[in-house]
Amino acid sequence: MGHMTDDLLTDLRPLLAAEASAEAHATGCEPGDLEQAVWLRLLERLATDGPPHDPPGWLRRAVRAEVRRIRRTIRRERPFETDPADDRDHGPEPSALTTARHRALREAVHRLPARCSRLLQALLSPEDLTYREIAGELGISQGSLGPERSRCLGCLRRLLTPEVAARQVRG
């Protein structure tokens, strides 16, 4: 590698460490694994297209893209909770129950106070937003997102508990 590439890697190292640390915990992966994946992307980029025009901006976008990739992988790699040969959990009834539970959750989220409703909708979004993107969208600091999420989940739990209890009584 050339001197310019070495300087680029040296200059980007602290930024990547900070970005990876901020994003990794929200996905459940290790910051070092996230850093390594982005370094590989950068080395591939350098080998094919040369250095990016805006290295810090490129690095931030690469971290977010890698976080989205990791989240998609985690969702696809759910372990079997039951024996896959057991057919009892397949068919229209479990599917209808799952759909009903998802609908009840969405309806409950919409009944929450506006701030909690917007936060939980962003967290449940199929767009798979990062904590940084959610914080920016809601106009709150990334550091307050975790405590705010916990408070909103508590509100949602209190809202759903009577409904769940009523359903269990009805059978």
**CATH number of the domain residue 117 falls in:** 1.10.10.10
Q: Please check whether residues 25 and 97 belong to one and the same domain.
A: no
Q: Please check whether residues 45 and 114 belong to one and the same domain.
A: no
Q: Measured between alpha carbons, how far is 21 from 131 in angstroms, rounded to an integer? A: 12
Domain containing 9: what range? 3-76
pLDDT score for 126: 76
- Over 90: is that where the pLDDT of 22 sits? no
Q: Please check whether residues 100 and 165 belong to one and the same domain.
A: yes
Q: Are 88 and 45 in contact (CB under 8 A)?
A: no
CA neighbor of 153 nearest in space, from 141, 143, 161 = 161
**pLDDT tier at 55, thresholds 50, 70, 90:** very high
CA neighbor of 44 nearest in space, from 52, 33, 32 = 52
**What's the structural domain count of the chain?**
2
Q: Which residues, 6+ apart, have CB-to-CB distance to 33 below 8 Å?
A: 24
Q: Measured between alpha carbons, how far is 167 from 150 in angstroms, rounded to an integer? A: 25
83 within a domain of the structure (yes/no) = no
72 within a domain of the structure (yes/no) = yes
Q: Please check whether residues 108 and 72 belong to one and the same domain.
A: no
- Over 60: is that where the pLDDT of 143 sits? yes
Q: Which residues, 6+ apart, have CB-to-CB distance to 19 below 8 Å?
A: 59, 60, 63
85 within a domain of the structure (yes/no) = no
- Over 70: is that where the pLDDT of 62 sits? yes
Better pLDDT: 108 or 82: 108
- Over 60: is that where the pLDDT of 85 sits? no
Q: Tokens 């805006």 appear where?
A: 54
**pLDDT tier at 59, thresholds 50, 70, 90:** very high
For 109, the token pair is 């989220």
In this prediction the pTM is 0.44
